[in-house]
């Protein structure tokens, strides 16, 4: 065994945690470890109710938010997960096998129930049931003891999500507006300086170019001649 493994084990770190530490790196492993250690999931008494019946589980989880859960022993053997999802209480068998605990083969790989809970505290149960769109979010006993605080936290989370969604919608509207072509503005007629004067001048020119009216010839009167040629004798 490498020397560093021996030193880590001297601090009480388990082999499984040492393996994860090496794979993830110290900083990532430390963040994960602190998040897990500070969760109520770390206290098995918050979610493991061995002698709880199905009916008692129903009563305890009634009205709880999505993700509230407990694990109990089944009279028929193995264990059961009771969990709230979308105002419905669901019950799933957890099989205890030689390879470990799990919901179905070949996923019965968790060495303890606590390891199973740690995994599904951050991974959705949709992996095994399409209708369970939740994680193991809130241990049932922890919910029962801290209803007001948890309810307030959930309301704040919902409000934050609503604001984020509103911000996303505003950004989408702005992007759509930027993609629209600019509006077509009707241009006003161009005013020509002195247009009235030009029109008046053109009228005068047209008048000056009008040909003069022809004057009809004056009529001449021819009187009858007097004298010898005035009349002829018949």
Residue 207: which residues within 8 A CB-CB, separation 6 or more?
Answer: none
Q: Which domain holds residue 21?
A: 8-38
Question: Is 33 part of any domain?
Answer: yes
- Per the CB < 8 A criterion, the answer to whether 71 and 79 are in contact is yes
| 13 and 70 both lie in a single domain | no
Strand-pairing partners, residue 85, are 88
The domain boundary, picked from 141, 157, 184, lies at: 141
Number of structural domains found in the chain: 2
Query: What does the alpha-carbon distance between residue 102 and residue 177 come to, in Å, rounded to a whole number?
Result: 51
| 86 and 111 both lie in a single domain | yes
Question: Is 110 part of any domain?
Answer: yes
The domain boundary, picked from 141, 159, 176, lies at: 141
Question: Is 103 part of any domain?
Answer: yes
| 16 and 90 both lie in a single domain | no
- CATH code, 102: 3.30.505.10
Q: Which of 63-67, 92-96, 200-204 has the lowest mean pLDDT?
A: 200-204
Question: Is 218 part of any domain?
Answer: no
| 28 and 78 both lie in a single domain | no
The pLDDT confidence band at residue 161, using thresholds 50, 70 and 90, is: confident
Would you state the pLDDT for residue 39? 82
If one counts every other C-beta atom within 10 angstroms of the C-beta of residue 137, the result is 20
| 14 and 53 both lie in a single domain | no
| 64 and 84 both lie in a single domain | yes
Average pLDDT over residues 64-89: 95
Entry pTM: 0.59
| 22 and 70 both lie in a single domain | no
Would you state the pLDDT for residue 105? 84
């Amino acid at each position: 065994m490498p020397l560093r493994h021996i030193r880590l084990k001297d601090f009480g770190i388990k082999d499984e945690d040492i393996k994860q530490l090496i794979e993830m790196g110290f900083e990532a492993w430390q963040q994960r470890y602190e998040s897990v250690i500070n969760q109520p999931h770390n206290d098995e008494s918050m979610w493991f109710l061995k002698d709880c019946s199905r009916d008692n589980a129903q009563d305890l989880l009634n009205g709880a938010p999505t993700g509230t859960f407990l694990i109990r022993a089944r009279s028929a053997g193995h264990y059961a997960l009771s969990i709230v999802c979308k105002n419905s209480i669901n019950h799933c068998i957890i099989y205890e096998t030689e390879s470990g605990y799990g919901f179905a083969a070949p996923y019965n790989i968790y060495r303890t129930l606590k390891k199973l809970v740690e995994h599904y505290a951050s991974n959705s149960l949709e992996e095994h049931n399409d209708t369970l769109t939740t994680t193991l979010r809130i241990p049932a006993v922890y919910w029962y003891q801290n209803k007001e605080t948890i309810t307030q936290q959930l309301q704040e989370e919902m409000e934050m999500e609503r604001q984020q969604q509103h911000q996303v919608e505003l950004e989408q509207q702005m992007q759509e507006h930027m993609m629209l072509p600019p509006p077509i503005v009707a241009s006003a007629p161009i005013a020509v300086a002195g247009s009235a004067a030009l029109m008046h001048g053109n009228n005068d020119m047209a008048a000056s170019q009008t040909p003069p009216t022809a004057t009809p010839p004056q009529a001449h009167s021819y009187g009858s001649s007097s004298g010898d040629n005035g009349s002829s004798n018949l």
